[in-house]
Chain A
């Protein structure tokens, strides 16, 4: 008897089979669409230009060829690629530090301290947070150029440091994870506001500091439009540098005037290296991403 019911439960109608097959096809197609370009990008730098054109797209070249492409990339413009990466690191980290210094106290105050204008500041933060960051790039450029700051690293770092999403994340965190009673207890014990913040709230804030830091770093590292407009020459970050590199690839610019030539596998290597830090962070910080992305819905 039990054997029969078990079998009946296992039996799958033809309609279900077709349904399952369809689901599998959709899943596999989209998985391939999302992942194959990345697999290709990881393999391309191991090949020579002719291997890239002639061999199978997912074949592995050789480590020697990878080394040769590596050398070509880092020799380009007497090592300017290293400078670009260094600039990206410098801009992203400086902005990250300023973002944390200003956002954590701001989110804390918005969540747990009553002051006039709090609601206005909160609503403004939400509105600005939801407009795409590119929307303000040209106005910021126009402003910085009036302030004669174009070309200065500050022209990248300061606008990068303005990160309303970070304030919002901190606000959500403090208003859900830390109770006012806890702070009031410390106040009754005679702690001043600075001590309440520094010794009660801050030790609890580690998760949100990591979260804000993560999102700020990713957003800044990947930003192209703003640095493209406000810095040039040796000061550009790697995102902008990549497009400079493109100008020296004969396959895309047959009339390229420069004598130094970047071949396709080298360009692929540059692309891979330009995203490597973020790719690595993504691999290890899955849960962070999900937490941050769904932060809007957690408070209901």
Chain B
């Protein structure tokens, strides 16, 4: 290690390190501080106990958990199937066009995608109103009834997010050597057997990456229920998800300690998932 070089190493990383401290480490520490104190006095786990005891807390956990299960299952099944199909399409332009169509909704995120789906889910203007009406829904409010929400949020998230993953899986499939595929074909394996015995095992690392990322993102559910709540006059409850509840604690109840407690719970989940992945997964073996 060269001392002069190493000094410049610090200069080069200084700006980024400052931001990392200011918007990564410091907010985390401050939220931990808030979560364990009340008006400046240390109160142990009181804030957590209070928040967990809130009648809205467990339903919010259940809502988010159910949504995450639907979302992960549909993502893993359909992304893998679609990637395999697109990969198997021999006509080059057709495969390219399909991937392009699948991933373009990824451009529409956040509030914009929820707004677009407000229209799609409203039978009076929807492009698929016939489908909605055939399922017995005649108004937006009936479509987004609380029982339907995990499916509704899954559809929205799948629409915006699946294409990117399909493109990633497709890339991974392309990396499987042609010799192996050819050997399987000569041994008489059909497309389904090849997919099951050769392609799927090669994808597992990417599937677990997708699963972990989506699980972490799914627990953060906020903008979808927030905007649907606004559009339906709280038919969709404003305390549907954990992040919404944390938001209400801070903004409605002026209870920053309670808000911080919920945030810490969510942050621990996200940090736990990503740390496990970095240290156990082989995807980011950098050194």
Contact = CB atoms under 8 A, between A and B. Distances in A.
Nearest to A160: B23
Interface residues of B, number: 109
A138 B259 contact: yes
Interface in A199-244: 218, 222-225, 229, 239-240, 242-243
Given A31-B98, A106-B12, A293-B168, A37 B20 contact: no
Contacts, number: 298
Contact of A158 (B19, B171, B263, B273): B19
Main secondary structure of the interface of B (DSSP, over half): helix
A30 B83 CA distance: 12
Contact of A34 (B16, B28, B159): B159
A162 B23 contact: yes
A226 B129 CA distance: 34
Main secondary structure of the interface of A (DSSP, over half): helix
Contact of B9 (A52, A115, A126, A224): A115
Nearest to A114: B1
Interface stretch (A1-9, A61-69, A73-81, A117-125): A117-125
A182 interface: no
B70 interface: no
A230 B140 CA distance: 31
A246 B231 contact: yes
Nearest to A291: B171
Interface in A252-300: 252-253, 255, 264, 267-268, 271, 274-275, 278-279, 281-283, 286, 289-290, 293-294, 296-297, 299-300
Contacts of A139: 27-28, 30-31, 260, 263, 267
Contact of A19 (B100, B119, B191): B191
A173 interface: no
Contacts of B222: 134, 225
Nearest to A276: B107
Contact of A296 (B7, B115, B209): B209
Q: A interface, how many residues as a size bin? A: 35 or more
B20 A125 contact: yes
Contacts of B116: 37-38, 41, 271
- Interface centre among B30, B101, B284, B285, by most chain A C-beta atoms within 10 angstroms, is B284
B270 A131 contact: yes
A183 to B, nearest CB: 10
A226 to B, nearest CB: 10
Interface in A129-178: 129-132, 134-136, 138-143, 145-146, 158-159, 161-162, 164, 167, 171-172, 175
Given A57-B128, A142-B263, A293-B168, 4 more contacts: A105-B15, A115-B6, A246-B230, A252-B231
Interface of A: 19, 23, 26-27, 30-31, 33-41, 44, 52-53, 57-58, 101-103, 105-106, 108-110, 113-116, 118-119, 121-132, 134-136, 138-143, 145-146, 158-159, 161-162, 164, 167, 171-172, 175, 193-194, 197, 218, 222-225, 229, 239-240, 242-243, 246-247, 251-253, 255, 264, 267-268, 271, 274-275, 278-279, 281-283, 286, 289-290, 293-294, 296-297, 299-300
